[in-house]
Amino acid sequence: MSGPVVDIRDLSISFATDAGAVKAVDGVSLQVNRGEVLAIVGESGSGKTVTAKSILGLLPETATTGGAVLLSNRAGTSTSDVVTLSGKELRGIRGSDVSMVFQEPSTALNPVYTVGWQIAEGLRAHRKLSAGEAKREAVEILRKVGIPDPETRVNHYPHQFSGGQKQRIVIASALVLNPGLIVADEPTTALDVTVQAEILDLLRRLRDEFDTAIVLITHNMGVVADLADRVVVMYQGTVVEEADATTLFASPQADYTKKLLDAVPRIGQGRAHTEERARLRAERTAGAAAEVAVVEASGLVIEYPGRFGRKGFRAVDEVSFAIRPGEVLGLVGESGSGKTTIGRAIGGLTRITGGSLRVLGFEMLDFSERRFKPLRADIGFVFQDPAASFNPLLTIADAVAEPLVIHGRAKNPAAARKRVDELLEAVQLPKSYGDRFPHELSGGQRQRASLARGLALEPKLLIADEPTSALDVSVQARVLELFAELQLEFGFAALFISHDLAVVDLLADRIAVLYRGELVEEGTGAEVLGDPKDPYTRRLLASLPVPDPAEQAARRATLARIRQEAGDNQL
């Protein structure tokens, strides 16, 4: 069992396009040893995912591959060059020698089959097992990845599981045939920090207990510091640096690596900026009459009715807060805490069922859509996934112009083009990009265009729901910097919803922490994150990975102690 589990030698991959061949990977060489976690990091388009998919032979027909990808089986008794394998031979190694954990479990799992059937499918494809034997093995692997009551949950469908549990199921499917190598492509990107900590613990246990090698594809440098043994940094299809994790974070050599690490937001990093913004706002309003809050919630209750005689679900439970003019309120908490529900209620997209919610002076309890409609022009939205929120058939200019046309500020998109060009330049996009379609822009560029659309009507309030969660750290840093500049320039109030505490601390004047529909803590960044009072806030902070292996190990120990004290090993 000596030698690496995978040995990539001088790998080159290019894709045929209408404009000619595009080289995605250029002369990459790397090795992954047994029981080792190798992280491949870099921005979108750096070639990290293409390199990882080449290990499983998952490249499209338009790809031309050169070099060698030598993959060993679990026992180390045979080695195959994946580049030269036929389709049938590739199916033989997938699952048994190498498996993949995809980024989005909701799309990786088939919604019409039970999770047990989907796990057993891999077993039946590679081994001659009866239905009963395959189901028993599926139950056992679900138990190993921490799914509670696996005997019952094996018969459930994907939609009956939380996001973190679905990711565990995808990992179970990858692990069920005990491969020597697992390729994990952004396995924690869309997860809350507490759930992310669980998944990282699980991957660490797989490495230690099963001696499984892991290739980790991620743009989260905190995750790399938490889990990786070695790190490969890629930029524009080439490897620019490779080192063990401790050395890379302590003494990065390549300029690009230094820029990546500098772009990672850290708790307390932006506190001086938020304090300065608060001082400037206080100076502007000095001597003026007290301004009415843009948003004011008092005992806010939002409850979804139950079906078929079942009790309703209370998503927001007597929450009180206010957003003053020109202020950014950061709303944090894990999935299901009520963050997005509150954002939707403020925008008039979800009805409130109790308490009071005043938006721009308008009471939202039992509100009339006809009376509220004129106020919608004063509320802007920036959504989490701009690719899904843009109409793919409209150009960027038409999409940004849409609010102007709907609210009668322009007769048609052509009449609004001058204003659209101004907005695109305000978000640092060339005005020529207005003629492009959403799929022709990168993730960061689409998010900038989404910000331009949200600001088109010069709103008094902007609701930003996880606007940077899927972006690379360097792109995220630029978008956050732009957001702060625009907020200072236009003076709008903002509700910034996120599960990333460092991002919120960078932008927010005040932070509100939600847990299971209740507001457990509120204050400035220094108060909430510098000296947290509530146990849940302390757990959130301990769950946030930081780009320093030594500090991250200490935080992991702190999180384990907090869980033990709470008697809550499974959040």
pLDDT above 50 for 367: yes
Cα 162 from Cα 106, distance rounded (Å): 10
Cα 548 from Cα 489, distance rounded (Å): 35
pLDDT tens for 290-320 read 578 899 999 999 998 877 777 888 889 999 9
The CA-to-CA distance between both ends of the chain, in Å, stands at 38
pLDDT above 50 for 409: yes
Alpha helices in 373-472 (DSSP H): 386-389, 396-406, 417-426, 443-454
Q: Does the domain formed by 271-391+459-531 have CATH 3.30.160.100?
A: no
Q: What mean pLDDT do residues 45-49 have?
A: 86
Q: What mean pLDDT do residues 317-343 have?
A: 90
pLDDT above 80 for 336: no
pLDDT at residue number 511: 93
Cα 481 from Cα 483, distance rounded (Å): 5
Paired with 16 in beta bridges are 21
Confidence of residue 567 (pLDDT cuts 50, 70, 90): low
pLDDT at residue number 198: 84
Q: What mean pLDDT do residues 245-273 have?
A: 86
Q: Cα 338–339–341 angle (5° rounding)?
A: 65
Cα 291 from Cα 311, distance rounded (Å): 41
Cα 78 from Cα 231, distance rounded (Å): 27
pLDDT at residue number 286: 58
Residue 235 parent element (H or E): strand 230-235
Paired with 241 in beta bridges are 233
pLDDT above 60 for 569: no
Global confidence as pTM: 0.80
pLDDT tens for 183-242 read 998 888 767 777 888 888 888 888 888 888 999 998 888 889 999 999 999 999 999 999
Task: Report the relative pairing of strands 20-32 and 37-41 from DSSP bridges.
Answer: unpaired
pLDDT above 50 for 439: yes
Every domain range in the chain assigned CATH 3.40.50.300: 271-391+459-531
pLDDT tens for 545-554 read 888 888 888 8
Query: What is the rounded average pLDDT for all residues in the chain?
Result: 87
What would you report as the CA-atom Rg of the chain, rounded to the nearest whole angstrom?
A: 25
In the chain, what percentage of residues exceed pLDDT 70?
Answer: 95
